[in-house]
Structure 1
């Protein structure tokens, strides 16, 4: 039987999906297994038993084989993509030593020894000392080394979730270059572990032997073992091809391999991503991440809480939609577009800055969310529309920063992620940017991107340009309304772009006062 299909496994934040794609980019089968994203053993902590992820992969795959028409004999290879920056300590047998620290974790390690020597002098002269200190405090490895030294000492390998699942599938401590997104001593320009003199080894001290071997995207990570086959039902001996982290896979799955085509990801973290062959830092010391295309870079600007704000709105203000959705048997988010339709573009002067979680440099760690322009006409419908508009404003600001840093004009937009299913969110995006906005032809863009890595790695396509041409295409397209764009453009330029600078002194005061008066 001809082997002309690819199994893609996508371990996201909320669920694990096992999908089969053909060489035209059609998803022929899918099985989704919801997972509990994390547990919180302490305020701000986000952890999960690593077996939850592995067992989810096993259940997703085993359920896939039971679907009508699925023929596992046609599978040519496997690709894996996962959530980013979730870390796992394992022993020599690959058994976890403690729960995984999930990317949503907010623990910090203060009072660490600053980076010194020549690097410390350079950072002091360039005003980057606070940025480096922030990175050190955020690094999970530093917290483990300080607060759980025995576990750190017993750690044989320190893995991202992608590396842990790769070990479960192949029995090898190896990972994809394109999955390395986190507080690790990784050289993002050279796309390998940092050299011995790199400042990152001072910022996040560890023995290099604790890290896995790396394979470029589209390379072979190993073969499915007989043990993994028994657990998942994936045929033993199939090659596991290196894909990329979920955002990077989403970018190529949306067809965005040229720098003038941007991918907006409307997920828990909202991002704007572009693919480049040249290394460019949109924000100093914040590197572009490895692309799912070997040797290329995914330049990314994040709105950390992004479309999490929709879930926040649902929890805090969406009781009517929750009750109605339960009666209708649908998800509450499906009803939120009706709220948007009740309010004119611009939310009658209500403008929201979506910094519900602080950033690193842009915005700074002092940043807070803000809403201005309230009047007696405003309702929760206005507030919800202002959330969508504020996210679009912030991503447009990211677009302009990307263009300024790269010198490349962005001419097309593709939107992926859960928020892309909202008609209103898509139209607002088109109107704020003043550009046509398209959905990818398949909702599971990250899974498709992983399958594309496998297709090239297995020689089914000679290069990524051909794979993109054959496996991706646009779905629904939303055209901007010139009159609405003119309104948004004026609000964006005259109001939104001035908000952060005007409010930053107040944000700093809030930060200072709260730190001085830690009341629990």
Structure 2
């Protein structure tokens, strides 16, 4: 049987990635386009410049289709996955009325201000890109969040509770029509085909919010498994069966499978950016040295860090490099330096700080749920690191799984296409056929004991212990005479 091709779009905070898969989940080819630096006009405001999300999608698709050597008639559809928790304002014709607000923008979570006559619609990024590709004013239900839009998490549709609906101050006519993941939102228009190079007339399929799509593409469909997404925002999840608004240590996220749920712990803002930051301050000489050795800067740092013992000889890192707009005193912390500490110690300490911070959020979630998953799937670029995978296994005390496809959002989007177009009868069958494990990491018992002692003895309490000091420092530095 000739291969059918499925295109998965992963429109993220830093780049847009587009991947062609066959029906077995194998990568045929991929392309990407970096986004421009976001604009922060004042504290708490974080915007995407101009029409960057659409421009980057067009550029990535053009690169992809230029390389594609198959028959375009065998492309069965496009799965559209884009960044969650952003806010878009559209004119009547579907173009932008204002810059796209990032998920890091405080205004993304504020009540809608209906004071711009040019705004005819407000929606997440997925709704905007859907319109750009299809001309339809439709969106996936699973990217509308209850703190931004009047969505009913139980029915997966706009709420019928008028009092609740009015609390968002969004007129019904300014909301898009919602559809379930794995359904067809529309078809690539002639104009979109010319702009992207994608074949005109192929279906565009609804997915979900980016973390839920990534979870699906990683194979998170059973309750015995946890999931960690190593991205710009790092989060952990487990499968859920219902909406639980009373939870204290997690919140209910809509899954990429209709009427299923994901429970998500608190996360780490600008998560993997901590690695990018440290890499950037290494300087050009270090980068050239790594290049001469035939490896990346991250790989070169890992060569040094792998010889550092668990616990980094007492060097502890709190990965909090991006303060919330309402808590500007919060800062990242490195504490415990002495003469033993090297580049490798600092690098390992950052990895350990990410793992332990997320572990404490994850433990709070699973303890409240009364469950204990026996393994954890880890997705994202950070999972390429054997050292990072082992640190997670050692810190959590369970085996960690790495799949063949670690950029799983694009695969999750392709799985939605496979279901919508009838290649597979359902999501469970599609996941079993398209997601493949690459390898696993077993906990080192001695390292697990070390991390447990550090975490229980001081690390879990460290953010609270540092809070008063950080407030004092912030007030001193920012005091005006």
TM-score by length of 2: 0.91
In 2: Cα distance, 1:178 partner to 1:216 partner: 7
Summarize deviations over 1:195-222 as a string: whole Å, max 9, x none. Answer: 44455743x4222221111101112211
In 1: Cα distance, 2:404 partner to 2:280 partner: 31
Query: CA 1:323 to 1:402, structure 2 compared with 1: closer, same or farther past 3 Å?
Result: same
In 1: Cα distance, 2:325 partner to 2:217 partner: 28
Query: CA 1:175 to 1:360, structure 2 compared with 1: closer, same or farther past 3 Å?
Result: same
In 2: Cα distance, 1:58 partner to 1:82 partner: 14
SS in structure 2 at match of 1:168: helix
406, 414, 430: which one aligns with 2:393: 430
In 2: Cα distance, 1:477 partner to 1:96 partner: 45
Question: In the alignment, is residue 502 of structure 1 matched against residue 472 of structure 2?
Answer: no
Query: CA 1:244 to 1:228, structure 2 compared with 1: closer, same or farther past 3 Å?
Result: same
In 1: Cα distance, 2:43 partner to 2:465 partner: 32
- The equivalent residue for 1:229 is 193
156, 159, 171: which one aligns with 1:207: 171
Summarize deviations over 1:42-97 as a string: whole Å, max 9, x none. Answer: 45533224532223222222222222533221111211001222222111111212
In 2: Cα distance, 1:298 partner to 1:374 partner: 39
SS in structure 1 at match of 2:67: coil
- The equivalent residue for 1:134 is none
User: Is 1:24–1:471's contact at 8 Å kept on the other side of the alignment?
Assistant: yes
Query: CA 1:449 to 1:41, structure 2 compared with 1: closer, same or farther past 3 Å?
Result: same
SS in structure 2 at match of 1:77: strand
User: Is 2:142–2:208's contact at 8 Å kept on the other side of the alignment?
Assistant: yes
Deviation of 1:189 after TM superposition, in Å, equals 3.9
SS in structure 1 at match of 2:226: strand
- The equivalent residue for 2:219 is 255
- The equivalent residue for 2:276 is 311
- The equivalent residue for 2:444 is 481
Summarize deviations over 1:112-154 as a string: whole Å, max 9, x none. Answer: xxxxxxxxxxxxxxxxxxxxxxxxxx62555xx3xxx75x332
- The equivalent residue for 2:149 is 184
In 2: Cα distance, 1:457 partner to 1:296 partner: 17
- The equivalent residue for 1:381 is 344
In 2: Cα distance, 1:230 partner to 1:518 partner: 55
Question: In the alignment, is residue 467 of structure 1 matched against residue 437 of structure 2?
Answer: no
Summarize deviations over 1:141-172 as a string: whole Å, max 9, x none. Answer: 55xx3xxx75x332001122111110011101
414, 422, 429: which one aligns with 1:451: 414
Summarize deviations over 1:367-390 as a string: whole Å, max 9, x none. Answer: 543333332322332222111111
103, 109, 116: which one aligns with 1:139: 109
User: Is 1:282–1:401's contact at 8 Å kept on the other side of the alignment?
Assistant: no
Query: CA 1:479 to 1:508, structure 2 compared with 1: closer, same or farther past 3 Å?
Result: same
SS in structure 2 at match of 1:357: coil
User: Is 1:218–1:456's contact at 8 Å kept on the other side of the alignment?
Assistant: yes
In 2: Cα distance, 1:367 partner to 1:260 partner: 35
Query: CA 1:43 to 1:322, structure 2 compared with 1: closer, same or farther past 3 Å?
Result: farther
In 1: Cα distance, 2:110 partner to 2:281 partner: 30
In 2: Cα distance, 1:350 partner to 1:9 partner: 40
- CA RMSD, aligned part only? 2.8
181, 194, 210: which one aligns with 1:246: 210
User: Is 2:3–2:23's contact at 8 Å kept on the other side of the alignment?
Assistant: no
- The equivalent residue for 1:355 is 320
- The equivalent residue for 1:344 is 309
In 2: Cα distance, 1:358 partner to 1:283 partner: 24
SS in structure 1 at match of 2:232: coil
- Which runs of no fewer than 5 residues in structure 2 stay unpaired? none
Deviation of 1:282 after TM superposition, in Å, equals 8.2
In 2: Cα distance, 1:442 partner to 1:80 partner: 18
- The equivalent residue for 2:53 is 53
Summarize deviations over 1:425-444 as a string: whole Å, max 9, x none. Answer: 11111111111111111132
SS in structure 1 at match of 2:251: coil
In 2: Cα distance, 1:176 partner to 1:334 partner: 38
- The equivalent residue for 2:66 is 66
Query: CA 1:87 to 1:328, structure 2 compared with 1: closer, same or farther past 3 Å?
Result: farther
- Which runs of no fewer than 5 residues in structure 1 stay unpaired? 109-137
Summarize deviations over 1:318-362 as a string: whole Å, max 9, x none. Answer: 55533424556754223221231242111011222223335699x
- The equivalent residue for 2:372 is 409
Summarize deviations over 1:464-491 as a string: whole Å, max 9, x none. Answer: 2111111112112222111111111211
In 2: Cα distance, 1:96 partner to 1:514 partner: 41
